[in-house]
Amino acid sequence: MARALIVSANGAQNYQECQSQGKRSIVTFSHPFDDTSVKASLTAGIQSIRFLRMSETSMTAWPGVDRFAPREPMPKEQAEPLSREIANLKRSLNAVILAHNYQVPEIQDVADYVGDSLGLAQQAALTQAEVIVFCGVHFMAETAKILNPNKIVVLPDKDAGCSLEESCPAGQLAALQRTNPNFWTVAYINCSAAVKELSDVICTSGNAVKIVEAAPRDKDLLFVPDENLGEWVMEQTGRPMTLWRGNCYVHVEFQRDVLAQMKAKYPQAKVVVHPESTREVRQLADSVCSTEKMIAYCKSSPAKQFIIVTESGIVHRMQKECPGKEFLCPPVFNAMRAPADPCHCSECKFMKMNTLEKVRDCMKNLAPRLELPQQTINRARLPITRMLEISAR
């Protein structure tokens, strides 16, 4: 993973390295920035610099931010004509629209199925449609293509990537695998088709515990690419694993202090946390689970208020499926945003690249279209079908 230097405009005095270990290095400078220190860091092997408006240390003192409102659906007058066009295209193409829980509300509203990665893979495996319109990020559409090599798979924006996927290049994984022939590689579905090819079994956050429990006992487990999910699975199963050092840039931005403040302010609220979050955040949770299980938890819980620690797109479904309940979104320390962007929301910039217009256009043009070499499809299908089989047990 590239080392990134994060520079805070109003942080602590002078140069202070807060974190290393191959992850993001957080560095604060006094304002104005000390040019010499920035240059010194660059020559020390740091490959990119992101400028922040606030420092990690000042996050808890950020005035007036104790939660943020998730995004509203597109206005009806704009959404309805597009939705009608999409419905007509769906009929004429014999298409199915699959959407991830993090998609914008208006895309969720036109989808045939909205769910997490596991549900989407299961739907993709079952569908009779001739065209799959995959509204999520690139690796998800790849998974649908691997399961349906003879069908047309289109996606609204081919550049919708994923920080987790990027963190695990197949070449580097292959090099690590060569160091131990006894590795059994469990790959979180958030990885490229090339990484899936190299894996023994795939998992999602919804079934990772079950998949790891089913792994051969005589093997050394290698878990890629999410270190936080892997760590949580180790805690749940007691099975040691070598963890790849990747993470989701959205989930690691949640801060324990901010969450603790919210818990104190809303003591009745249940805290629901995605396992891609850090351990110190997970420790404050009433439930740690995948997005699909979050919805089930919120439905069945007698509580009326929930603090949702994941990408905020899921709140649209929660509001629809859990009427009368309230969902609060904690603000994040958002290292990926530009200095002029004051938003502290937990939106994934990749998931939000898809729009209703792009859904319409990809159906009209049957492009961008997902294509993969046959050899990749053949090799990557095996660990995915293994996951689906274990998951169905």
- Residues in touch with ligand SF4 (CB under 6 A): 137, 162-164, 190, 248-250, 311, 348, 350-351
Phi, then psi, of 263 in degrees rounded to 5: -60, -40
**Nearest residue (CB) to ligand SF4, 223 versus 350:** 350
Give dist(CA 119, CA 296) in Å, integer. Answer: 13
CB of 15 to ligand SF4, least distance (A): 29
In the complex, the smallest distance separating the C-beta of residue 207 from ligand SF4, rounded to whole angstroms, is 16
CB of 252 to ligand SF4, least distance (A): 9
Residue for token digits 């240390």? 57
Between 322 and 351, name the residue whose CB sits nearer to ligand SF4: 351
Nearest CA to 360 out of 86, 137, 92 is that of: 86
- Taking the least distance from each CB to ligand SF4, the nearer of 28 and 278 is 278
Beta bridge partners of 50: 6
Q: How far apart are CA 120 and CA 99, in angstroms?
A: 8
Q: Which is nearer to ligand SF4, 90 or 145 (CB)?
A: 145
CA-CA-CA-CA dihedral for 194, 199, 205, 211, to nearest 10? 160
Distance, CA of 340 to chain centre: 24
Q: Please, which residue, 248 or 359, has the CB nearer to ligand SF4?
A: 248
Q: Which is nearer to ligand SF4, 248 or 362 (CB)?
A: 248
Is the N-terminal amide bond of 368 cis, ω within 30° of 0? yes
Coil, strand or helix: which one is 6? strand
Query: Cβ 90 to ligand SF4, closest distance in Å?
Result: 25
Residue 332 CB, nearest approach to ligand SF4 (Å): 12
Q: State which residue, 28 or 163, has the beta carbon closest to ligand SF4.
A: 163
Name the one residue in this structure whose structure tokens are 């199925």. 113
Q: How far is the CB of 13 from ligand SF4 (least distance, A)?
A: 33
Nearest to ligand SF4 of 250, 363 (CB atom): 250
* C-alpha–C-alpha distance, residues 174 and 185, integer Å: 11
Min dist CB 2 to ligand SF4, Å, is 15
**H runs (alpha helix) in 116-226:** 117-126, 138-147, 163-166, 170-178, 193-197, 208-213
- On whether the CB atoms of residues 157 and 172 are closer than 8 A, the answer is no
Count of residues in the chain: 393
Counting Cα atoms < 13 Å in the Cβ hemisphere of 368 gives 17
Smallest CA-to-CA distance from 41 within 21, 17, 19 is with 17
Measured from the CB of residue 211, what is the shortest distance to ligand SF4 in angstroms?
Answer: 18
Nearer to ligand SF4, 163 or 255 (CB): 163
Measure the CA–CA gap between 161 and 165, rounded to whole angstroms.
7
Looking at the Cβ atoms of 158 and 219, the one nearer to ligand SF4 is 158
**Token digits for 262?**
């919210």
Q: Please report, in angstroms and rounded to a whole number, the separation of the first and last CA atoms in the chain.
A: 36
CB of 349 to ligand SF4, least distance (A): 8
Give the nearest distance from C-beta 249 to ligand SF4 in angstroms: 6
**Contact status, residue 146 vs residue 189, Cβ threshold 8 Å:** no
> What CA–CA distance (Å, rounded) separates 333 from 258?
9
